[in-house]
Amino acid sequence: MYLTQGLHRSLQRHPAKTALLHLGEGAERRHDFAGLIDSVARQAAALAARGIRSGERVALLAPNTDHLVLAILACWWLGAVACPLNVRWSSAELAHALADSDASLLLVDAALSGAVPDAATPVLPLDELAAQAHSLAPLPDTRTGGDALAALLYTGGTTGRSKGVMLSHANFWTASMTRGAELNNSPASVTLLVAPLFHVAGLGRLIGQLLVGGGWVTMPQFRAARVLEAIEQHGISDIIAVPSMLQLLLDDPAFRAERVQGLARIAFGAAPMPPDLLDRALQAWPKAEFFQAYGMTETAGAVSVNLPANHRPEARALGLLNSVGRAGLGAEIIVADEQGRELPRGEVGEILARGPMVMRGYWRQPEATQAALRDGWLRTGDGGRMDGEGYLFIADRLKDMIISGGENVYSAEVEAALRTHPAVALAAVVGVPDLQWGEAVHAVVVTKPEAAADTAGLADALRAWCRTQLAGYKCPRAFSFVPELPMSAAGKVLKNVLRSQLRK
Cα(190)–Cα(209) distance, integer angstroms: 8
- Where in the chain are all domains bearing CATH 3.40.50.12780? 5-167
> Is 289 within 8 Å of 308 (Cβ atoms)?
yes
Architecture of the domain defined by 5-167: 3-Layer(aba) Sandwich (3.40)
CATH 3.30.300.30 domain position(s) in the chain: 401-502
Given a cut of 90, is residue 247 above it in pLDDT? no
- What gap in Å lies between CA 306 and CA 12, rounded to an integer? 34
Looking at the domain that runs over 323-397, which CATH code has it been given?
Answer: 2.30.38.10
Q: Would you call 84 helix, strand, or coil by DSSP?
A: strand
Distance from the first to the final alpha carbon of the chain: 52
Question: 140: exposed, middle or buried (C-beta count within 10 Å: 0-12, 13-18, 19+)?
Answer: exposed
**How many residues make up the chain in this entry?**
504
The confidence score (pLDDT) of residue 32 equals 98
**Type of residue found at 382:** D
Ramachandran area for residue 486 (φ above 0: left; ψ -120 to 50: alpha; else beta) = beta
221 or 357, higher pLDDT: 357
Distance (Å, rounded) from C-alpha 294 to C-alpha 272? 11
Give yes or no for residue 30 having a pLDDT over 70: yes
- ∠ CA 453-458-460, nearest 5°, is 150
Q: What is the pLDDT of residue 90?
A: 86
Nearest to 292 by CA among 309, 316, 315: 309
> Which is nearest to 3 in space by CA: 58, 29, 40, 39?
40
Domain with CATH 2.30.38.10 in the chain: 323-397
**CA 129, chain centre distance (Å):** 26
Mean pLDDT of 335-364: 95
Architecture of domain 401-502: 2-Layer Sandwich (3.30)
Chain-wide mean pLDDT for the chain? 90
Q: Which of 70, 104, 195, 98 is nearest to 154 (CA)?
A: 98
The C-alpha atoms of residue 293 and residue 25 are separated, in whole angstroms, by 31
- The pLDDT value recorded for residue 429 is 92
Residue pair 200/301 in contact (Cβ under 8 Å)? The answer is yes
- Ordered DSSP codes for 2-31: -TTHHHHHHHHH-TTSEEEEEEETTEEEEE
Question: 390: number of CA atoms within 13 Å, CB side?
Answer: 10
Residue type, 356: P
Q: How far apart are the C-alpha atoms of 20 and 256, rounded to whole Å? A: 26
* pLDDT average, residue stretch 449-476: 85
Q: Mind listing the pLDDT tens digit for each residue in 356-396?
A: 999 999 999 999 999 999 999 999 988 889 999 999 998 76
Tell me the per-residue pLDDT of 180-211, one tens digit each, with 9 for 90 and over. 888 888 999 999 999 899 999 999 999 999 99
Cα(358)–Cα(299) distance, integer angstroms: 4
